[in-house]
Structure 1
Amino acid sequence: MKAVRMYLLLHIVLTVFVPVNTFDPLKATVGIFKNVWQRVFDSKESCDSKWISFNATGLQADLETKLFGQHIASRVILKAVTGFMSNDYPQKPLVLSLHGPCGTGKNFVSQLIAENIYKEGMDSDFVHVFNSLFHFPHKGQIETYKSQFQQWIKGNVSNCARSMFIFDQMEKMPPDLTDSIKPYLDYHNKLGGVSYRKTLFIFISNNGGDFITQKALDFWKEGRGREEIKLRDLEPSLSDSALNNGFWHSTLIDRNMIDAFIPFLPLEKEHVVHCVMAEMKARGMWPDQKVADKVAEDLIYIPKSERVFSKMGCMTVGGKLYFQKEEL
């Protein structure tokens, strides 16, 4: 506080008594102090429009140019997030459940959402990521986890209503711990004095991946393009699959707490090539089509006979690109 009072006093004195066109070493020094002081305070993230401002155009552009082969997910996510962030008085939190095989962009799209809401993106103090296996490893400590988990969510939303929570490997979260999330997803005005209506929850799971892959393969065998696959072809079975595999308890579905079950389709070779090109660009390398084709060709595809879909999506392209570069 003393430093603040000193700064204000110097500012007043210099403003009132030092002529505008007169250079003064003391004033110059105070000017430097002022700039440093301003940077210190400006660098501290706060829960306001300076740090949290949704860029709908940016999200649309990112989904169109950076997320490959996911026409369903791109459309549904853009519509859901835009509608939610444009509403100053939502009735409930936005809850998205992302499903699909490994390496298809589920975590990546969460990053894109964060980058178009928070100035600091995934590094924001208001974006929180949980990995079920990492954060909740001991089954014997579920009650402790539940208590800490609830207090942690409450504390963060109390700090900033526009918080974002990402839960990875949700299918591996203990059911009792899943139950502890339910109150925060419902249609409450306030819960324990805290409103969660402006909070965004994203659940990520490989659950349903086999079903999605089979549906995409069926379309391919019938000679139909993947763009013909619609959300209605997948979403009902996704929710049933999630329920039958213990991912969600029935109340979460029955009470419409999940706003959308969003399928991520398996990636074909052309999508993997796009991933490799994007990876080269991100590393500051000159995008080389031949290298990208070679990396994509070296991946494992399923079914073995037809080699239609990349088994691990784009998950391993980084490592493959490194080894391919070493061979050049």
Structure 2
Amino acid sequence: MSDMDSSSSASHTEEEEESGGEEDEEMKIKDREGPAPSLSSLSSTVRAVIRIKQKYQALKKRRQEMALVLGGHGGLAGAPSRTSPKIFTFDATTASSHSSLSSRKKRKRKRRVLYPNRRRRRGPKGEHSPAEYCLYLLSAIVFLQVYNAIENLDDHVLRYDLEGLEKTLRREVFGQQGAVEGLLSHLKDYLSTYVHNKPLVLSLHGPVGVGKSHLGRLLAGHFRSVVGESLVLQYYVLHRCPQEAHAPQCARDLRALISAMVERAEEEEKIPLLVFDEAEHMHQDLLDALHGLVASKQPNQFLNAVYVFLSNLGHRDITKHVLHNVSAATASSRRRGDPLAELTPALRGSLAKRHALWTQADILPLGLLEKSHVMQCFLEEMTREGFYPDRPHVETLAGEVEYYPAAGGWEYSVTGCKQVVAKVNLL
């Protein structure tokens, strides 16, 4: 019994020594690590976690030191080699595996096809700049200015009543559709504005009796009704200046007369009309004076005027062209437009040789009149004189007029409607 008691007491003493040694080691480790943090302000759960963590770290360090000691002495013979327990740490391998998994997930997500949503998404509303309202205001001002300019052009054209002039010319001028359309086109373009860089110069040429003087009288009468008597000049050369010796004085008088007209027109903001009939009889001094007036190097008041010259210059070229090119196709083209348009360049060249005045003019040739046109002239004159327009009687009177030899089934009058008034007066 004494032996058992001694052995048990020895074992108790050994256990106490071992536990005391362990406690001493733990105290040493705590002293190395430093004083424990104060846990008075922490909750009980947090303090328990911290205590467990400290114990775990102390046990870990003790085992590592014991392993180093045993490894240094070579260890006991036949004893199994002790290994430290595997501890979970965030190694590079786990990080790389985690990154590879995340990259795979991203790749899989990128492979998915995304379809646009059917709903319309509106972008963020930006702030309006003050310059935007200025741009709107400027656009409105420009629009009003352009609209006002267009309205002023229409008002200026309406002042001259070109629609009424067109109706009059188409009703009373026969067989000259191309020349009438060209005349109206030039007048519309020129009269649409008041400020110009040169005057409008028109030169109408044709054989005897085709309606040149009649056309000049209609133009003068129409402009007298819209701009006044004082702004229209109808100048007959054989009546105003028949002798060549008086040509210098006639030129000075004509220049003074035109200067007074354009100054008056400038004050009234109107465009005057000057018609010169029988221009083939104009002397050199008159042509020189007119050429100086229509030149572009003149005061502004001389640039706002319409000059119309009526003559039979080039009538041989016109007659030859009409008789040699007459056909059914030519007749149909004549009804559609001006059949003498191709003759204009040659006619301009021959007129420029006569005087430089015609280089400033727009040439409008008038063609020969057919028998049907002569009959219309008789009907118009008989109606004006109060005679009953009997169709057989009109055909008889038209048959008494001289015609060129029939070509292509068309008969052209030699004298046009020149003898119509004389024959009607004999009735």
Measured against the shorter chain, the TM-score band is: 0.7 to 0.9
Alignment partners' CA distance in 2, 1:282 and 1:93: 36
Paired residue secondary structure (2:387)? coil
TM-aligned CA distance change 1:84 to 1:56, over 3 Å: same
Q: How large is the Cα RMSD of the aligned pairs?
A: 2.6
Greater fraction of residues in helix: 2
CA distance in 1, matches of 2:193, 2:238: 34
SS in 1 for 2:260: helix
**Does the 8 Å contact 2:251/2:286 carry over to 1?**
yes
Pick from 227, 238, 243 the counterpart of residue 138 of structure 1: 243
Give the superposition deviation at 1:273: 0.6
Which structure is larger by alpha-carbon Rg, 1 or 2? 2
1:217 maps onto 2:323 in alignment = yes
Question: Aligned residue for 1:291?
Answer: 393
State whether structure 2 residue 260 is matched by structure 1 residue 163.
no
**Structure 1 residues 322, 212: closer, same or farther in 2, change over 3 A?**
same
The letter for the 2-side match of 1:171 is E
Unaligned runs of 5+ in 1: 1-48
SS of the counterpart of 1:137? coil
Q: Which moved more, 1:137-146 or 1:197-206?
A: 137-146
Q: How does 1:151-300 map to 2 (within 5 A)?
A: 151-161=256-266, 162-188=271-297, 190=299, 195-220=301-326, 224-225=330-331, 226-227=334-335, 230-244=339-353, 246=354, 248-249=355-356, 252-253=358-359, 257-258=360-361, 260-300=362-402
Q: Give per-residue Cα distances to partners, 1:4-44, cap 9 Å, x unaligned.
A: xxxxxxxxxxxxxxxxxxxxxxxxxxxxxxxxxxxxxxxxx
Report if aligned partners of 2:198, 2:303 keep a CA contact under 8 Å in 1.
yes
SS of the equivalent of 1:96 reads: strand
Counterpart residue type for residue 315 of structure 2: G
Structure 1 residues 116, 133: closer, same or farther in 2, change over 3 A?
closer
TM-score by length of 1: 0.73
TM-score (norm 2): 0.57
C-alpha contact (below 8 Å) 1:104/1:267 kept by paired residues: yes
Asked whether the 8 Å contact 1:55–1:117 carries over to 2, the reply is: no
**Do the aligned residues in 2 keep the contact of 1:56 with 1:116 (CA within 8 Å)?**
no
Instruction: Report the CA distance between 1:231 and its aligned residue.
Output: 4.3
CA deviation after TM superposition for structure 1 residue 313, in Å = 0.8
Q: What's 1:309 paired with? A: 412
The whole-number CA distance in structure 2 between the counterparts of 1:141 and 1:114 is 26
Greater mean alpha carbon deviation, residues 298-307 or residues 211-220: 298-307
**Who is 1:10 aligned against?**
none
Separation (CA, whole Å) in 1 of partners of 2:419 and 2:352: 30
Residues 77-107 of structure 1 deviation map (CA, whole Å, 9 limit, x = unaligned): 1101122222222222111001001111112
When the two structures are aligned, how many residues end up with a matched partner?
263
Tell me if structure 2 keeps the 8 A contact 1:53–1:118: no
Q: Which secondary structure does the structure 2 equivalent of 1:119 belong to?
A: helix
SS for the counterpart of 2:308 is strand
Distance (whole Å) between structure 2 residues aligned to residue 135 and residue 115 of structure 1: 20
- Give, in angstroms, the shift of residue 304 of structure 1: 8.1
Distance 2:288 2:172 in 1: 35
Distance 1:310 1:100 in 2: 13
| Pair 1:68-2:174 in alignment | yes
Pick closer, same or farther for the CA change 1:86–1:114 going to 2, 3 Å: farther
Match of 2:211 among 105, 109, 125: 105
1:187 partner SS: coil
Structure 1 counterpart SS, 2:425: helix
Cα 1:286/1:182, change in 2 over 3 Å: same
Which residue is equivalent to 1:118? 224
Pick closer, same or farther for the CA change 1:184–1:63 going to 2, 3 Å. same
Give, in angstroms, the shift of residue 120 of structure 1: 7.2
Secondary structure of the 1:165 match is strand
Maintained 8 Å contact 1:53/1:117: no
Seen in structure 2, the aligned counterparts of structure 1 residues 252 and 294 have a Cα distance that, compared at 3 Å, is closer
Look up the SS of the partner of 1:234 in the other structure. helix
Contact 1:188 1:195 in 2 (8 A): no
1:72 and 1:307, CA in 2 relative to 1: closer, same or farther beyond 3 A? closer
Percent identity (aligned): 26
Query: Does the Cα contact within 8 Å between 1:207 and 1:241 map onto a contact in 2?
Result: no
Q: Which amino acid aligns with 1:94?
A: L
Matched, 1:88 2:194: yes
Q: What's the CA shift for 1:186?
A: 2.0
